[in-house]
Amino acid sequence: MIRLLSSLALLALTATPVLAQTKSLPSDVYKSVLRIEVATQVPDYLTPWNSGRFSGGIGTGFLIGKNKILTNAHVVSNARRVLITVYGSPKKYPAKVEFIAHDCDLALLSVEDFKDFEAFPTFEFGNVPTLESQVRVIGYPVGGERLSVTRGVVSRIDFQPYSHSRADSHLVVQIDAAINPGNSGGPVVQEDKVVGVAFQGLRQADNTGYIIPTPVVRRFLKDVEDGHYDHYADLGVSEFPLHNPAMRKALNLENDGNGVLITNVVPGSSSDGIIKPGDVLMSLDGKPVDSAGMITIDGENVNLNEIIERKYAGDKVAVRFLRQGGWNDVDIVLKPLHWSRMYAVQYEQKPRYVVFAGLVFQPLDTNLFAASKFNDVTLRRLYTDYVPKGLFEKHKDIVVLTRVESDPVTSQLGGFAGFAVDKINGVEVKDLNHAHELLHPKEMPEFFVIELFDAERPIIIPSAKVAEANKRMQDNGIDNLENLED
């Protein structure tokens, strides 16, 4: 379930702790916990024509099958080179990312030559650990070069945000062991089985770490069995708790602590045309939904979206809801809500942009929003409403004038940066490619008139001056005036 986070409380680390149990592990199993060294290149959304900055980090991974190394997505995001090191060996093995799922922060790697790993044991997966049980975290955290093993106790099982994408929430297990940079991607073990993958810590608290539990891991591994990662399906609704007795009475509900109010249905989502705002959701797959939006799975109370989490695109979910006092039972076919990726940080993608006579246009997304810190109220509203109000049905991209480069043509236009583009020569802009077409017509108009949302006046560029301005942009270091591909 996609959640737009207003602020980040959680911090995804370049690596996290791993492993726990009450008895010792076989010594050879440590060879299957691998140190991952990554060189990365992070795109620059402020100057999208530049290559971006180079960086690097250390993480942890572990063998789960023949040439299958599981780790976190954030360990290998934007990777340009990945090297694997075995416990007790100085040799570095080149590796590549086979599959990566940024929405659940998991990735599957392989090495170019697996023969040196053939004899290593592989980890098996167990169940979600119970509250107050002990686990071990194994990994390569900061503070040394060798393998580290720490112990922790399971203190909470919850549905929480995953900080890597900044927009997705899934099941998590909280433990009272610190998860430090370098531990990310390592196995968390109970008895002789992996019960989770270490992945993030809490900034505001000491000795508080989070692990990705096995239901999330198993779903990722099953999803990629066909050679492609298809992302999570989404019910496409927003709900509101029904604790207030007066509100329940107004909705003709018994005061029994069951049901949540549907406040929004995303256009084009799985629920569109079936559920409506004002309906009261009572159960999913026969499991009652309480007034806080919780259901019980395997003896634990978790967010109702956990039912959807364990399904795939094309699966059905049985939904029971009340509408104007009448019961309704329907099966909803689930599908991904791809447009919701607007609110997720994107990786492994070059920024899209168009430079036109010193004006820089880019499509709005979370990467750009975070880099530019836009202040225009209308632009921020377009960002917030993009999915809930179905703006994507009309605008594949919200195109933004992000920069005004110094040039004689643009000398009086600096105050227009940060506004969303409405029309170009009277035509409403649908996406960046459409904007590019309107700025490069077969027949040149005398002027290009660019209208911006809430701007005091339009921008007017004489077409006769465009070619010279573009040449000056290239002479000043912008070699490519456009990138229209993801």
CATH 2.60.120.380 applies to domain 10-224? no
Phi, psi of 367 (to 5 degrees): -60, -50
Per-chain mean pLDDT for the chain: 91
Q: Are 237-333 and 351-483 the same fold in CATH?
A: no
Quote the tokens at residue 219. 């779903």
Residue 299 has a pLDDT of 82
**pLDDT, tens digit, for every residue of 181-197?**
889 999 999 988 999 99
Where is average pLDDT lowest: 107-116, 196-205, 228-237, 305-314?
196-205
Q: Exactly one of 32, 74, 279, 291 is catalytic; name it.
A: 74
The answer to whether the beta carbons of residues 152 and 208 sit under 8 Å apart is no
For this structure, is 169 an active site residue? no
Compute the distance between CA of residue 244 and CA of residue 263 in angstroms, rounded to an integer: 16
Name residues whose C-beta falls within 8 Å of residue 480's C-beta, 6 or more positions apart in sequence: 49
Residue with tokens 């006046």: 457
Helices (H), 338-450: 366-372, 377-385, 432-439
Which member of 163, 165, 184, 269 is catalytic? 184
Q: Is 105 a catalytic residue?
A: yes
Indicate whether this model's pTM tops 0.95.
no
What is the rounded CA–CA span in Å between residue 27 and residue 220? 29
- Eight-class DSSP state of 454: T
Q: What's the confidence (pLDDT) of residue 28?
A: 75
CATH number of 351-483: 3.20.190.20
Model confidence at 13, pLDDT cuts 50, 70, 90, reads very low
Its CATH architecture, for the domain 237-333, is: Roll (2.30)
Domain boundaries, the chain: 10-224, 237-333, 351-483
In the predicted model, is pLDDT for residue 457 greater than 90?
yes
Task: Please identify which of the residues 103, 105, 234, 290 carries the catalytic annotation.
Answer: 105
Q: Is residue 74 annotated as part of the catalytic site, yes or no?
A: yes
| Cα distance between residue 439 and residue 458, in whole Å | 15
Closest CA to 147 of 105, 111, 189: 189
- pLDDT single digits (tens) 135-177: 999 999 987 778 999 999 999 998 889 999 999 999 999 999 8
| Per-residue pLDDT at 465 exceeds 80 | yes
